[in-house]
Amino acid sequence: MSESPRPHRPAPSPATAPSQPDEAVRAELTRLRESIDNIDAAVVHMLAERFKCTQQVGVLKAEHQLPPADPAREARQIARLRELAGSAKLDPAFAEKLLNFIIAEVIRHHETIADGAR
C-alpha cells in the first residue's frame, strides 16, 4: 500500500527549511516508491481474484441455502493468517484487522447473492 496521505503542513520558513535531498536520495525514493506502487497493484489484483472465488462460494451457498457466514471457518482463517503474519514479520493484529474487513465484505456479497436467489 502506498504511503498514507499526511495532513497538510505549512512549508517551513527558509531559515528552517531542510536542504533539498541530493540526486541519489531522490533516485532511491523514486525506486522505493515504484516498488510500493507495483506491490499495491499486485495486492489489488490478488484481492480481485480472491473476490472472484468468494463470489462463486456465495453462489454455491445460495443454491444450497447455506448461511452467508461461517464463523468456524472465519476463526480458522484468522488464526492461520495471524500465524502467517507473525512468521512474515507483519503485525498479527494488523493482519487480523485486514482479514476481518475482507470477511465482512465477503459476507455482505454472500447476503446480496442469497437475497437475489430468493
How large a percentage of the chain has pLDDT more than 70? 85
Alpha-helix residue ranges (DSSP H) falling in 1-118:
23-63, 71-87, 92-117
58: its cell numbers: 456465495
d(CA 63, CA 86): 37
Average pLDDT over residues 43-68: 97
Chain position carrying cell 456479497:
109
Residue 2 scores a pLDDT above 90 = no
**pLDDT greater than 60 at residue 81:** yes
The pLDDT of residue 70 is above 70: yes
Q: pTM of this prediction? A: 0.75
Phi-psi region at 65: left, alpha or beta (left = phi > 0; alpha = psi -120 to 50): left
The number of beta carbons lying within 10 Å of the beta carbon of residue 106 is: 21
Select the more confidently predicted residue: 17 or 106.
106
